[in-house]
Structure 1
């Protein structure tokens, strides 16, 4: 595609992601889970955690889109594009669960998307190995968040738990694949900075 076509396509995708327009290629893992009664407090807590997860998927779309656009090889570009399509399932699942819980996505999604796109672009400009390293570290931190959510979600919220568990499995696979493709280890200060930024995002997204 020409640079103009890429710009238009990228802008269209950003609008769809931020606007909550997403499709799923796999059924929602929570589809057949029993929807048990939740107290108002439990429902708010589940919604807060699922909103955090939805924000994470908004960021994943921005990251993979920017990394694909600025990848240095065609093969790496295809890899990032494929990962982005797989992550789109997560975006749809978490959005659906938020609706079921009577809640809504973060109002700051445009900000999260823009920030993640910039980070992905910077990582890609550093070269494919460092870009893959960014994926490995991101997925490692996401997995840790998801494990924490499984510990924190109400035990009877089977629908949310099924979604989060499948997301965890997928994120581990994405990180392992990036590692196998030759990801470079990121410097400690970069990993610490990523963790600090993630903390800010998750704290804000839980509430708004």
Structure 2
């Protein structure tokens, strides 16, 4: 138990404070930088900060869900999704820096709250655990679609990152459904959307 606690605490510190690593090439890395004005850069950086924070939350959710799961195949699916989300962290972190922005100052708070939510979801059993994963990914995919509409059209580098993230989220949702995810009740989906709205509107500014 102590070893596991140390491992998960170390993972939390690395997720929130250490630079993330990626195996896949950063999408759009070979594209030229667009001549964005200062307002467009600030807006794009804020949107990418929201996406980065969303990946912080995803890491915590998956960690909490994996901790509570009793099914090895589900734990492996969560770990695979978590690895791809770590790459998303690296991509968004790099793009924020390129745009002259900064990461959210509230990332430790979002990590802690998302870890608690993930552990709570896991306590209801693996099929509900998977249902929570599938719904999370659907909502993130919708959120990323909205960012593609809001990003400056000329900012092809940011758009390439968001497009690949969107494709990965769809894949994670499909995996959860294939493994037997239950459909969440409408009130739960509504609460998830409310939490997401509070997070995104706050992180865009802070």
TM-based fold match above 0.5: yes
The answer as to whether partners of 2:141 and 2:170 remain within 8 angstroms in 1 is: yes
Partner SS, residue 207 of structure 1: coil
Matched, 1:45 2:54: no
2:190 corresponds to which residue?
Answer: 192
Query: After the TM superposition, which residues 31-110 of structure 1 pair with which residues of structure 2 at under 5 Å, given as runs?
Result: 31-110=29-108
Deviations for 1:73-118, whole angstroms, at most 9, x for unmatched residues?
1221122111111111100000000010111110000000001000
Deviations for 1:2-56, whole angstroms, at most 9, x for unmatched residues?
x111110111111111104211010100211121111111001001100000000
Deviations for 1:117-162, whole angstroms, at most 9, x for unmatched residues?
0010001110000010001111111011100100110011011000
The answer as to whether partners of 1:58 and 1:109 remain within 8 angstroms in 2 is: yes
The answer as to whether partners of 1:33 and 1:162 remain within 8 angstroms in 2 is: no
* Coordinate RMSD, CA, aligned: 0.8
Partner SS, residue 200 of structure 2: helix
- 2:53 and 2:59 map into 1 onto residues whose CA distance is 10
**Structure 2: tracts of 5 or more residues without a match:** none
The answer as to whether partners of 1:54 and 1:91 remain within 8 angstroms in 2 is: yes
144, 149, 152: which one aligns with 2:150? 152
Q: How many residues align?
A: 206
- 1:63 and 1:115 map into 2 onto residues whose CA distance is 9
1:141 corresponds to which residue?
Answer: 139
**Structure 1: tracts of 5 or more residues without a match:** none
1:12 corresponds to which residue?
Answer: 10
Question: Which is worse superposed, 28-37 or 42-51?
Answer: 28-37
Matched, 1:177 2:175: yes
| TM superposition score normalised by structure 2 | 0.98
Question: Which is worse superposed, 20-29 or 148-157?
Answer: 20-29
The answer as to whether partners of 2:93 and 2:103 remain within 8 angstroms in 1 is: yes
